[in-house]
Amino acid sequence: DQQVKQNSPSLSVQEGRISILNCDYTNSMFDYFLWYKKYPAEGPTFLISISSIKDKNEDGRFTVFLNKSAKHLSLHIVPSQPGDSAVYFCAASQDDYKLSFGAGTTVTVRA
């Protein structure tokens, strides 16, 4: 059972514009959410996170929004840069050890 879903397998965006990645979850017990970025031949690298007690967290060009009532979170990247081209995974946790991941969204930033 897929508790974390990323329904868009790919996203293409022009350099300098905003990238918006979406993630839905079904488990209301999740209390912490993370975004990871993955380049080919590398492991996922942590990008940004948000606790369920917040609705927004910002770190430089990256902002994560959480809508608990809709069980939805999104990652905004502004402005998008060519180095942002990667696979982005949404992950969630209800305890302090197990992360449940979505299937990922491949972002391509066009020059």
Partner 1 sequence: DTGVSQDPRHKITKRGQNVTFRCDPISEHNRLYWYRQTLGQGPEFLTYFQNEAQLEKSRLLSDRFSAERPKGSFSTLEIQRTEQGDSAMYLCASSLDPAARYTQYFGPGTRLTVL
Minimum distance, C-beta of residue 99 to partner 1, in the bound complex (Å): 6
The β-bridge partners of 93 are: 32
**Interacting span for partner 1 (CB under 8 A) from 12-20, 55-63, 76-84, 101-109:** 101-109
Task: Quote the Cα angle for 93-98-101, to 5°.
Answer: 65
CB-nearer residue toward partner 1: 18 or 39: 39
* Subset of 47-86 contacting partner 1 (CB under 8 A): 49
Query: How far, in Å, CA of 61 to CA of 81, rounded?
Result: 10
Query: How far, in Å, CA of 109 to CA of 93, rounded?
Result: 29
CB-nearer residue toward partner 1: 14 or 45: 45
